Structures are given as structure tokens and as C-alpha cells.
């Protein structure tokens, strides 16, 4: 293995066939030699041919990839409507709309009414994606169109960077064209382009792999050209960190592995410095993004929403399985292969995200594993194939990142989750490495067989990666936009162009608190996407009191909810009957309480009910209290020593805190806080007013009434010897309504 680095390095972009060039020159072919990094000057047809001959493989791979993406998605048929108006796609579309309306995706003035959406509690570092989408929006005309064109443009971009990587490794032009096309049209790329638009930016993956392999196979440039090459690579790595934190972490693992190998083999501090510099280029954008999110968190909040979707066990649940990535995708064009995948996922759970390498990459992966094992006993042959040896080593590293119980589990244990949970997404890196292996094998064929084989394999990869199953239905998307636009236009005409509308039922974001079938969890963003000035209650982050008040509201009777919503300044309620399809009794109760809707959508899915009554008819002071009762109640959250809701559990030895939080600066008088405390240890409960309650092991129902400021705490202190867990559940806080406030709310109901 130690002999591998001694092999001649390959250039960043070798000429047609770097190894064959001297032989052709000897044969008298007349091929011009590169001198001092510049080609002899040519003019006319010869100059044009030189340009084409130098770049045709890039152009062909990019054009084929773009054509396949356009054939699949057909964006011209959708206009301003969302191509995939469901699931995670709606979340990205809403953030794209934020960037157009408010300047950046992390703040939505028309979401989380009567406040505003603040995305900072859910750390997202994919800023380059939203910056590009923001630039595309004026050209395409809408946020949905900008997002879908971003996804389409990532296909030729991925082809270009993959070809660049292949050429750096000395792969011929025709075989590098195969790598670029097959990688860009990998089936996972299409899957990501349906919802996870940040992960659709696979064009950064070859940059990360290039940063790793070039530590072993150095570019041939020297002097200032080498410096420029390194700067360009670091810029690409910064772009990787700003496109997807997942791809940044995965690339960082490969760079670290290759860098350690380079330092061990060459004993060079220069390799250590290069590795550290490239790692920093990846990490700094992500770290800066996290720091900025921390700095712009809501001033009063319960917990960061990122904790809702990340847990230690996720690394195992979403880890990869080797058989899973060798099977066809559940989106494959052949029904029998789709059924095979379905059978596997059902029989051998968990299915995770259904990773699949594809036919060509699977063959390359299996072949590389066999080659590496056989040549383990023949190290001299490893030295004879330095590029294959490097790809084999990086594949083994990638495999340990990909599999269940591998690097991801260690990461989660050391970093308490670490923000990365779906480690099976590493399979796209394995696919790229395997495609490079296939190209290297093809290059060992005779020149005429090489071209024929590369084109044939490329055709197989295109057929295997593309599928009509990915094609969205423009009729459905356009009908949804037309229906929603009609409803929101009518609401604006009746209630005013900037009226606040409460969306019922209240669904939490980003993890829904109830079954939303047959709708999708993020359907609450649809009215926002297809309206202009109206403000909507959906979209606030879990853990933010500016959103969690809706869950407190849901705990009171429906009649009281409507009173509070009127007082809170909402002009009406938009009911989504699809979300309540599995709750017929709740739907019937709501319709009984509100009667006939004033606006009904064409399909009957959305019903709008006007909330009569003007809070201004009450005295300003009373109206303010009534409004704050609605949208600034007292909320209870687990604090230090306690886990997040719904089960707030302290550790076996420490004390804990239950927080009382309100957005009302003056606080509240007459607050009644209740919770259940199940303890195996002797405890003392200390209340904000200084009173205490001693508890012995058992189940206790705690109740306290008093006044609080903007934030206070109930402390749970251990008093007995030894350990023992305790859990705090069923937390609730109510504010007493003064008589004049009750009269105000009753008058609104009568109106």
C-alpha cells in the first residue's frame, strides 16, 4: 500500500489521454505539445476544433443530463404552481417564498400570525441554495418556479463536476463523460429533486471527493497555478458547506481519511496543512451558520426545534444496509423491480430512505470490493493500480459511514446526535466512487472498444436512473393553485388584504402533532404560497412561544377558542377538511359551532368561517388583556436537567427545572400551574413565590397558583440519599380571567 503514492500523479484536467500522448507524438501524429501550460495559438476551423476537442465531454454530459431532467419534470407545464405540492417540498417552498418577501428564508412575516416565523431554532446551513433560488425568482416569476429550476440546473452542474473529478484521475474523455452522465442522472438525484431540494445539490459531491483524492494524487500544477487550483477547490468546498451540511460532513470524513493516509505515507507537514485547510473550508460555513442561528434565536423560547427531529437512535434507524443499496429503487421504471424493493423494505425494516446505487454503480461497487480483497495479498499489484487502490480505500471508509452501527453511531454518541441522522445518504458517495471504478476498467479496453462500451454503459445508466414515475402531474398542481388562489382572493376581499387567518386544526411544525392523512404534514403552507398579503397562523417553529400558544389554545373548549381568536385579532378560520378526515367527530363539532362557511373551495376541501365581533368595542386595556390571553398565554417547558416534551425526564442524579414562559412583558397574575410528578426519589418542589412542597417517592399531582413575570421557574430538588429517576408530565398553565375581560369576550361571542 505504501507504494501507491509513488506512482506518477495525474493532472487536474489531463489532456485527451495523458498516458497516450507521448506514444502518439512518437508515432508522428502531429499532436501539439503543451508547453508552459499554454497551447500553440490556432485560428479559424483549427482553433474551433481545438476548443471542441478539449471540452466536448463536459458539454455532452451536461446536455444529456439537462435534457433528461427537462424530459422528466417539464417545468414549462407548471407556470407558477408547485411541481410537488406536498410533504417536505412545501417547507422548502415556503422558505423560498420567505426569501422573496422578507429578504431571507429564515423570517416569514406572513407566517405564524399574529407574530412571524423565525427559522433560527431549526438550524439550516444551506444558505447557498436559497441565495440561488432568490436570484432565480425574478427570472422565473415565483418561488415554486425558482425552486424547480434550481433542481433542474443541478443536473448539468453535477455532470460537470463529476467529469472534472474523473479527468483529474486520468480517466479518458469518453469514460469521464460516462461518469458525469451516470452520476448526474443517478436515481437518488431525482428522488431528492422531488422534496429535499438542498440534497438535490449533488454537484458538490464530486468536489468533496476531488478534495480527498487529490491529497493522494496531487495535481500536476506548480507555482501560482497550483495556488489558484487550491483556492478554487477551497471555494468549491465552501459552496459544499453552504449547500448541504450532510454533504459537508461526508466529504469531511473522506478528506480526513485521505489526509491521514497522505501524512502517514509521505511524512509531510504540507499534506497535514492541506488537509486542515480543506477541512476548514468545509466546516467554517456550517459552524458560522450555527453560531448565527444561536445569535438570532427568539428572545423567549422553550427549546430549539432542531431537537424535535434529532435523536440518538436516529443514526441506527436511518443507517444504511448493504443489501438495501444494491437493490433497485422503489421509483424504478420497471414495476417488477419496484415491487422487489417494496417486498424487501416491508420484510426487513426499517426501510430508512430506501438507498439504491443503481445497476452500473452496484456492479462497480461489487467489483471493487472483490478486487480489493484479492489484492490484499498482492501489495505490489496495489502499487500498480494506485487510483484503484485509492478508490477502494475511500469506498471502505464510506461504507463504515453508511452502515448501521458504524461511524454515524459513534458520531451520535459523542455529539448527542450531532445534527446528522440519515447516514444512509452516504450511498451517493459510494455510487460516485463505483462509477469511477467502472470508467477506469473501461479505459483498459482498446480505444475503439472503449468508446462503444462507455456509450453502452452510459445508456444503461440513463435507463436505470430515469423513470416516468418521477414525472409530476401538472393538472393536479395547476388545479390546486387555481382552487387556493380563488379562496385566498375571496378572503382578502372580505377580510382585507392583510387580514390574519387562523388555520384549523392547529398543526405543529416541523413535526406534526397529529395524523394528517390523506393530506401531508406541511399542507398548512399551501395558503401562504398561493396568497399575496394575508397572514396565516401556521408555520411557527415548535419550541417558540410565538407558535406554541396554538397548542395551549387547543386545550380549551371550542367555543372558548373562537372567543380568544376573535380577541387575538383573527378575521376568520380556514378549515382543512382533509386533515380532519380521520377525526369525523371533531369536524362535526366544529361545523356545529360555526355553522355555514362564508367561503367554500371548489373541491370542498377548504372552508372559511368569518369571526364576527370587533375587540375595539371593549376598552383598550381590556381588549389588550383579552388579546394577550389568546396569543401570549403562560406556557410550561422543561428546563435544565429535563428532557424535551412530551416526557420531561430528569437524569438519575441531578435536579430539574420546569419553566413558566410568556411573551407578555408584564407577566400574568393568578396563574395556576399543574403537572404530574412521578418520582422514585425524595424531592422538594420550590415555587416562584418561595413556597415549597416536600415529596416522598410516588406519583404526585402538583398544583400552584401565583404571579409570574416574563419567565419564572419551578425547581425540583433532590433531598433524599441515593439516586432514582423522576418524570414531570401533563404540564399545564392557566391564567385567571378578570371579570371585565370575561364580559368583553362574551360580547364578542354575542356579536
Q: 229-240: per-residue pLDDT in tens? A: 999 999 999 999
The answer to whether residue 45 scores a pLDDT higher than 70 is: no
β-partners of residue 466 are none
The answer to whether residue 50 scores a pLDDT higher than 80 is: no
- Candidates 237, 229, 227; CA nearest to 280 is 237
The sign of the dihedral angle between the CA atoms of 506, 510, 512, 517 is: positive
Residue 2 is predicted with a pLDDT of 39
- Candidates 352, 349, 327; CA nearest to 340 is 327
In this predicted model, what pLDDT tens digit does every residue of 399-448 receive, in sequence order? 999 999 999 989 888 887 778 889 999 999 999 999 999 999 999 999 88
Q: Is 68 helix (H, G, I), strand (E, B) or coil?
A: helix
Residue 739 is predicted with a pLDDT of 85
The answer to whether residue 7 scores a pLDDT higher than 60 is: no
The answer to whether residue 31 scores a pLDDT higher than 50 is: no
Mind spelling out the 3-state secondary structure of 676-745?
A: EEEECCCEEEECCCCCEEEECCEEEEEEEEEEECCEEEEEEEECCCCCCCEEEEEEEEEECCCHHHHHHH
Residue 749 is predicted with a pLDDT of 62
The answer to whether residue 40 scores a pLDDT higher than 60 is: no
In this predicted model, what pLDDT tens digit does every residue of 663-700 receive, in sequence order? 999 999 999 999 999 998 899 999 999 999 999 999 99
Residue 30 is predicted with a pLDDT of 39
pLDDT, average across residues 528-547: 96
How would you classify residue 79: left for phi > 0, otherwise alpha for psi between -120 and 50, otherwise beta? left
Any idea which residue has 505515507 for its cell? 265
Residues 6 or more apart in contact with residue 601 via CB below 8 angstroms: 483, 484, 486, 487, 607
Rounded CA-CA distance 702/724 in Å is 19
Any idea which residue has 375595539 for its cell? 616
Give yes or no for a contact between 565 and 557, defined as CB atoms under 8 angstroms apart: no
CA 27-28-30 angle, to 5 degrees, is 135
0.85 surpassed by pTM: yes
Paired sense of beta strands 692-695 and 635-638, if any: unpaired
Residue 51 is predicted with a pLDDT of 64
CATH code for the domain defined by 633-741: 2.60.120.260
Domain spans of the chain, in order of start: 4-25+50-80+142-469, 474-630, 633-741
In this predicted model, what pLDDT tens digit does every residue of 67-94 receive, in sequence order? 999 999 999 999 999 999 999 999 999 9
Give the number of other Cβ atoms within 10 Å of residue 341's Cβ. 19
Rounded CA-CA distance 107/124 in Å is 13
Amino acid at each position: 500500500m505504501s507504494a501507491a503514492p509513488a506512482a506518477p500523479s495525474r493532472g487536474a484536467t489531463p489532456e485527451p489521454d495523458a498516458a497516450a500522448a507521448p506514444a502518439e507524438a512518437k508515432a508522428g501524429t502531429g499532436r501539439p505539445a503543451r508547453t508552459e501550460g499554454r497551447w500553440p495559438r490556432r485560428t479559424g476551423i483549427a482553433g474551433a476544433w481545438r476548443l471542441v476537442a478539449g471540452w466536448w465531454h463536459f458539454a455532452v454530459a451536461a446536455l444529456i443530463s439537462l435534457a433528461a431532467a427537462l424530459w422528466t419534470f417539464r417545468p414549462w407545464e407548471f407556470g407558477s404552481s408547485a411541481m410537488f405540492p406536498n410533504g417536505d417540498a412545501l417547507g422548502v417552498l415556503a422558505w423560498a417564498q420567505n426569501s422573496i418577501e422578507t429578504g431571507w428564508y429564515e423570517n416569514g412575516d406572513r407566517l405564524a400570525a399574529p407574530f412571524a416565523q423565525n427559522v433560527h431554532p431549526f438550524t439550516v446551513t444551506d444558505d447557498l441554495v436559497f441565495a440561488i433560488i432568490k436570484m432565480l425568482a425574478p427570472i422565473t416569476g415565483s418561488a415554486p418556479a425558482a425552486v424547480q429550476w434550481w433542481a433542474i440546473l443541478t443536473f448539468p452542474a453535477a455532470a460537470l463536476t463529476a467529469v472534472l473529478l474523473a479527468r483529474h484521475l486520468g480517466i479518458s474523455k469518453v469514460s469521464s463523460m460516462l461518469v458525469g452522465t451516470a452520476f448526474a442522472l443517478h436515481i437518488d438525484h431525482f428522488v431528492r429533486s422531488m422534496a429535499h431540494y438542498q440534497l438535490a445539490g449533488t454537484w458538490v459531491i464530486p468536489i468533496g471527493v476531488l478534495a480527498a483524492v487529490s491529497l493522494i494524487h496531487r495535481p500536476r500544477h506548480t507555482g501560482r497555478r497550483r495556488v489558484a487550483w487550491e483556492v478554487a477547490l477551497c471555494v468549491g468546498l465552501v459552496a459544499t458547506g453552504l449547500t448541504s451540511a450532510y454533504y459537508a460532513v461526508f466529504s469531511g470524513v473522506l478528506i480526513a481519511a485521505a489526509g491521514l493516509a497522505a501524512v502517514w505515507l509521505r511524512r509531510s507537514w504540507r499534506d497535514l496543512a492541506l488537509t486542515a485547510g480543506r477541512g476548514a473550508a468545509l466546516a467554517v460555513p456550517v459552524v458560522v451558520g450555527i453560531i448565527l442561528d444561536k445569535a438570532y434565536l427568539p428572545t423567549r423560547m422553550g427549546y430549539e426545534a432542531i431537537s424535535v427531529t434529532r435523536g440518538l437512535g436516529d443514526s441506527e434507524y436511518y443507517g444504511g444496509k448493504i443489501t438495501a443499496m444494491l437493490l433497485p429503487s422503489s421509483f424504478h421504471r420497471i414495476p417488477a423491480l419496484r415491487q422487489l424493493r417494496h417486498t424487501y423494505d416491508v420484510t426487513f425494516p426499517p426501510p430508512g430512505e430506501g438507498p439504491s446505487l443503481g445497476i452500473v454503480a452496484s456492479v462497480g461497487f461489487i467489483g471493487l470490493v472483490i478486487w480489493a480483497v484479492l489484492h490484499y495479498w498482492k501489495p505490489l499489484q496495489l502499487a500498480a493500480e494506485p487510483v484503484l487502490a485509492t478508490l477502494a480505500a475511500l469506498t471502505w471508509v464510506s461504507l463504515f459511514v453508511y452502515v448501521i452501527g458504524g461511524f454515524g453511531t459513534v458520531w451520535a454518541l459523542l455529539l448527542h446526535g450531532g445534527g446528522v441522522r440519515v447516514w444512509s445518504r452516504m450511498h451517493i458517495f459510494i455510487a460516485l466512487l463505483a462509477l469511477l471504478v467502472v470508467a477506469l476498467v473501461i479505459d483498459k479496453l482498446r480505444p475503439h472498444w472503449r468508446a462503444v462500451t462507455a456509450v453502452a454503459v452510459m445508456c444503461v445508466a440513463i435507463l436505470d436512473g430515469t423513470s416516468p414515475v418521477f414525472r409530476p402531474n401538472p393538472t393536479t398542481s395547476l388545479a390546486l393553485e387555481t382552487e387556493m388562489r380563488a379562496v385566498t382572493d375571496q378572503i382578502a376581499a372580505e377580510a382585507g388584504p392583510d387580514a390574519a387567518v387562523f388555520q384549523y386544526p392547529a398543526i405543529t411544525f416541523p413535526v406534526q402533532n397529529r395524523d394528517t392523512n390523506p393530506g401531508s404534514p406541511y399542507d398548512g403552507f399551501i395558503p401562504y404560497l398561493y396568497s399575496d398579503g394575508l397572514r396565516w397562523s401556521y408555520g411557527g417553529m415548535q419550541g417558540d412561544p410565538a407558535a406554541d400558544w396554538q397548542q395551549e389554545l387547543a386545550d380549551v373548549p371550542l367555543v372558548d377558542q373562537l372567543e380568544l381568536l376573535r380577541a387575538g385579532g383573527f378575521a376568520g378560520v380556514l378549515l382543512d377538511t382533509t386533515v380532519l378526515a380521520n377525526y369525523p367527530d371533531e369536524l362535526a363539532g366544529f361545523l356545529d359551532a360555526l355553522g355555514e362557511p362564508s367561503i367554500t373551495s371548489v373541491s370542498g376541501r377548504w372552508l372559511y368561517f368569518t369571526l364576527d365581533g370587533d375587540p375595539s368595542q371593549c376598552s383598550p386595556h381590556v381588549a389588550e388583556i383579552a388579546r394577550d390571553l389568546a396569543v401570549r398565554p403562560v406556557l410550561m417547558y422543561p428546563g435544565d436537567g429535563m428532557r424535551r416534551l412530551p416526557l420531561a425526564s430528569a437524569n438519575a442524579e441531578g435536579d430539574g427545572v420546569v419553566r413558566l414562559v410568556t411573551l407578555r412583558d408584564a407577566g400574568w397574575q393568578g396563574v395556576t400551574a399543574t403537572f404530574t410528578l412521578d418520582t422514585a426519589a425524595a424531592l422538594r418542589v420550590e415555587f416562584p413565590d418561595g413556597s415549597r412542597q416536600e415529596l416522598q417517592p410516588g406519583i404526585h399531582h402538583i398544583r400552584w397558583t401565583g404571579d409570574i413575570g416574563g419567565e419564572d421557574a419551578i425547581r425540583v430538588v433532590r433531598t433524599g440519599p441515593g439516586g432514582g429517576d423522576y418524570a414531570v408530565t401533563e404540564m399545564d398553565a392557566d391564567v385567571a380571567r378578570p371579570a371585565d375581560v370575561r364580559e368583553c369576550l362574551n360580547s364578542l361571542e354575542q356579536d
